[in-house]
A and B are shown apart, each in its own frame.
Chain A
Amino acid sequence: MNFWEYLGSRHQQLLTDAYQHASAVFQCMVVATVLGVLIGVVTYRSERAGNLATLTTSAILTVPSLAMIGLLIPVVGLGVPPTVIALTLYGLLPIVRNAIVGLRGVDPTLVDAATGIGMSRPMRLVRIELPLAWPPILTGIRVSTQMLMGIAAIAAYASGPGLGNLIFRGLASLGSKNALNQVLSGTLAIIILALLFDAVYVLIGRLTIPRGIRA
């Protein structure tokens, strides 16, 4: 069976896996974004807290993904929970770092002006600082998503959902007639998903970054 025939006969399975993969990454990204921006907002004003947040999240990122998932299994069990926790943790770093950098990068005279015309602190954050820091934050989200696409494949190790199952199955039965097709189709599907997500982010950027600060 060549690759195309394989795709033809298994496209149902492939689509289900791809959907689950995308869905897992998407949901984890939503959680990571909310958490990451929140951490950024809480810590950016203090030099020490900001650095600590960046340091912690980058330390998490250095843990090998296989080890991380493996370590989570005894704690939270198999399946979805370790996948979601691991993906969310990995997704944090780029978002936290870019949120802090973006918020700190807002021109201090603008912050001064915002306060000077009578904005309260929460209002200043929501109306001025976050919108101005949004482009770097969005970039962080994009980087995070690309990374999670790959890492999500490892989730299959903990019987998690997604395209990783195909790849692992293929790798486990190397030499059999469909092994290569399985690995290849899983990998290609991940790449296509990543590109699709990226296209969506470009669109989101177009829609959410005001014309006045678009590059």
Chain B
Amino acid sequence: MPETSTRGAAIELENLSKRYPGNPGPAVDNVTMHINAGETVIFVGPSGCGKSTTLKMINRLIEPSSGRIRINEEDVTRMDPVKLRRHVGYAIQASGLFPHMTVAQNIALVPKMIGWSKTRIRERVEEMLDLVGLDPREFHGRYPRQLSGGQQQRVGVARALAADPPVLLMDEPFGAVDPITRDHLQDELIRLQRELHKTIVFVTHDFDEAIKLGDRIAVLRERSHIAQFDTPEAILTNPADDFVSGFVGAGAALKRLNLTRVRDVEITDYPTVTVDDPLQSIFSLLRSSGTNEILLLDKRGRPYKWLRRGDLMRAKGSLARAGTLVYDTVTRDATLRDALEAVLTDSAGRVAVTGRRGEYTGVVDMETLINSVHELLEADRLEAMAHQHDLEEARAAQTHAEQEGNAGEAKA
């Protein structure tokens, strides 16, 4: 990138409340929360729990009734809201692109408002389109209605990031696209965030989305009360109460698989040969390796075919006719859930793992997966116990201190 981008800023919410006239109870009640710089925090909760309201108070689209918001140590509660919003990116559901402006005009809006030069804006628009994976030459002059839902959403994110704000607020941005596109957009956001290190506050009602994207997740119940604010791992393995476990839903162990990547688990090595190897050596490897199957790689080292002992005999020594083609592979960045999916659909219960250019790096099978999951869950459980223990100790210390204090008062 030509310009160094602004990294995230810490956000501090202090006793933030919102009361609407005519309603007895507050819509958001006394939220206090610290969001670290460069962190992705997800607000998740049932509809009507005030998560969106809380988000919109950060850029003061909804004015808080009481409480304070600090961004980067600076109190923005009294600042001119228009000025504040130009320095906080905002992306919403169904993209919110202005239909009467081209893609480029939409992206250029905020830089124009804060007075960037024409050339700088033009360069920035190209750069942003590039960043979200759209070809600038092709999409520059298009109107929003000429784009698919996923493309619109990308432009929406590009617009939110155009003026390089330290903070990005996203209000159910992927709520209106189909599941496959949503998956792509989520992956894209993870990639973007790895490059940009913005502070992202993201609202969703989809817990799986929260697990996938969040560094930390705030599970909110009605009136935006924080039921639990912790890492996805901790929430999955150690939900704070029934509300949270209800929200996590069934299959926490399965969801846990989404949090671990194939590169984090043990990949077994498999005997391999390449298509260029002489038949003789293939035979001898089959005989000596002890397994009754080997993996045949193509010229570039990519998995090509599974070869069984009998296959070569039946094909009368012709590699072209022997073996079963490799249909599915997973990358080292794939989640364990993807790997499990691939293993389950494979007739022999294993899947080849590939590197960046599709080259073979190993194999994952059912056994590896089961072992890894057991280890993961065990580790999570131990951590949760340690956490619980710490909490109890802290509580005990506090009670102790209180009793001492009372005793002291009684004596005096």
Contacts of A184 in B (CB 8 A): none
Which of these binds chain B: A3-11, A105-113, A173-181? A105-113
A213 to B144, CA, bound (A): 9
- Give the contacts of B362-384 with A (CB-CB under 8 A): none
Task: Evaluate contact between A117 and B61: CB separation under 8 angstroms.
Answer: no
A132 at interface (Cβ–Cβ under 8 A)?
Answer: yes
Task: Evaluate contact between A213 and B92: CB separation under 8 angstroms.
Answer: no
B192 at interface (Cβ–Cβ under 8 A)?
Answer: no
B59 at interface (Cβ–Cβ under 8 A)?
Answer: yes
Could you tell me the distance in whole angstroms from the C-beta of B258 to the nearest C-beta in chain A?
Answer: 30
Could you tell me the distance in whole angstroms from the C-beta of A174 to the nearest C-beta in chain B?
Answer: 53
A164 to B63, CA, bound (A): 59
| Given A112-B61, A212-B143, A212-B144: A117 touches B90 (CB 8 Å cut-off) | yes
Task: Evaluate contact between A117 and B86: CB separation under 8 angstroms.
Answer: yes
Task: Evaluate contact between B96 and A212: CB separation under 8 angstroms.
Answer: no
A123 to B110, CA, bound (A): 12
Identify the closest chain A residue to B141 (Cβ).
A211
Task: Evaluate contact between A109 and B98: CB separation under 8 angstroms.
Answer: no
A131 to B102, CA, bound (A): 13
Among the listed A113, A132, A213, which residue makes an inter-chain contact with B96, where contact means beta carbons less than 8 Å apart?
A113
Chain B count of residues within 8 A CB distance of the other chain: 28
Scan A110-139; emit 1 where CB is below 8 A from any B CB, else 0.
101111111110010000100110000000
Task: Evaluate contact between B160 and A117: CB separation under 8 angstroms.
Answer: yes
Scan A204-215; emit 1 where CB is below 8 A from any B CB, else 0.
000000111100
A112 to B143, CA, bound (A): 20
Identify the closest chain A residue to B87 (Cβ).
A118
A112 to B159, CA, bound (A): 14
Task: Evaluate contact between B113 and A213: CB separation under 8 angstroms.
Answer: no
B109 at interface (Cβ–Cβ under 8 A)?
Answer: yes
Could you tell me the distance in whole angstroms from the C-beta of A122 to the nearest C-beta in chain B?
Answer: 11
B355 at interface (Cβ–Cβ under 8 A)?
Answer: no
Could you tell me the distance in whole angstroms from the C-beta of A123 to the nearest C-beta in chain B?
Answer: 8
B405 at interface (Cβ–Cβ under 8 A)?
Answer: no
| Given A109-B92, A110-B96, A112-B96: A117 touches B109 (CB 8 Å cut-off) | yes
Could you tell me the distance in whole angstroms from the C-beta of A89 to the nearest C-beta in chain B?
Answer: 31
A112 to B60, CA, bound (A): 12
| Given A212-B101, A213-B99: A116 touches B82 (CB 8 Å cut-off) | no
7 contacts between A and B (CB under 8 A): A112-B92, A114-B98, A118-B87, A119-B109, A210-B100, A211-B143, A212-B99
User: Which residues of B pack against A, CB within 8 Å?
Assistant: 59, 61, 82-87, 90, 92-94, 96-102, 109-110, 113, 143-145, 159-160, 169
